[in-house]
Amino acid sequence: MNDGPVTSRLLAVDVGNSRVKFGMFDLASIVDGLPELVDSLAAAPDGPMPWEEIRGWLGESDSFPPHGIVAGSNPLVRDVVAEDWPSGWPAPRVLTDSSCLDLDVQLDHPDQVGIDRLLNAVAVRRLAAAQRAAIIVDSGTATTVDLVDATGGFGGGAILPGFGLLAQSLHRYTALLPLVTLEQLGVGPPPVIGQDTTTAIKSGLFFGQLGAVRELVREMSGSVGGGQVDLFLTGGGGPLLATALAEARFVPHLGLCGLAEVARSAVRGDSP
């Protein structure tokens, strides 16, 4: 980490394609094996960054600014966030690829894997049961389904369009189909038989995504010998999928938690 006033606070920024997520962590407080997330918010990647609101999180201790760490699947906006970092705060550490992580990436080209997927794996290593494989479903702009093996290594996975991309494709490439947003999908499974165009789209989006995820989880679970596998959900569509996947644990802000764990490991001196 960068030199500066001694503080256990960390501002982590996970830069995605549709949202920039900010999380303030207390590295000295551990909850469920990970640094405690104290405050969080999200902003649009093409809008102003909410630095004033984040300064408000610090309260009277603003004279001791947090350390910072930034990563994400949107490199252009990631670099803008790092360059726009509040003056007077220690410059953030910017993670760009797998070489920045203490993670066994068991792929031919580790540097080509999205760091957002790897950060999820870093966090899940702290959450999964010992000596048990885990599968991570991250439902965002794209949905990723990734395997972390029983040794904690990242084994790869699958990428498919998320709820938003599927809905936008139906709307953009047809003459009459309306756009159905994630918010319109609601908080639980829609009727499987739609009685009008909009409800038919809702059914197709939800059960199509759910079916794809279930099949990928089934196949990946079988690939590790059929033993018990921990299933984790995260991302904007995670709460909706969780309503139909009772065996899954929903963990909001999993990527931010991975960033915080990387920073905590660096403080302890046991990561790159």
Query: How confident is the model over 214-230, as pLDDT tens digits?
Result: 999 999 999 998 678 99
Strands, E assignment, 92-182:
93-94, 133-139, 142-148, 154-161
> Residue 210 has what pLDDT?
98
Write phi, then psi, for 26 (nearest 5 degrees). -105, 105
Domain count, the chain: 1
Q: Which domain holds residue 239?
A: 131-253
* 40 is a domain residue: no
Does 108 score more than 60 pLDDT?
Answer: yes
Q: What is the mean pLDDT of residues 40-69?
A: 90
* 72 is a domain residue: no
Contact 248, 232 (CB under 8 A): yes
Confidence of residue 2 (pLDDT cuts 50, 70, 90): very low
Confidence of residue 267 (pLDDT cuts 50, 70, 90): confident
The predicted-structure confidence for 162-175, as pLDDT tens digits, reads as follows 999 999 999 999 99
CA pair distance 192, 116, nearest whole angstrom: 32
On the CB side of 80, CA atoms within 13 Å amount to 13
User: Domain of 143: which CATH number?
Assistant: 3.30.420.40
Whole-number percent of the chain with pLDDT over 90: 88
* 150 is a domain residue: yes
The per-residue pLDDT of the chain, averaged, comes to 93
* 224 is a domain residue: yes
Does 59 score more than 70 pLDDT?
Answer: yes
Spot the catalytic one: 46, 108, 116, 149. Answer: 116
* 6 is a domain residue: no
* 215 is a domain residue: yes
Q: In what order do the strands lie in the sheet containing 20-31?
A: 34-43, 20-31, 9-15, 67-72, 93-94
Kindly report whether the global pTM for this prediction surpasses the value 0.85: yes
Q: Is 116 a catalytic residue?
A: yes
171 residue type, one letter: H
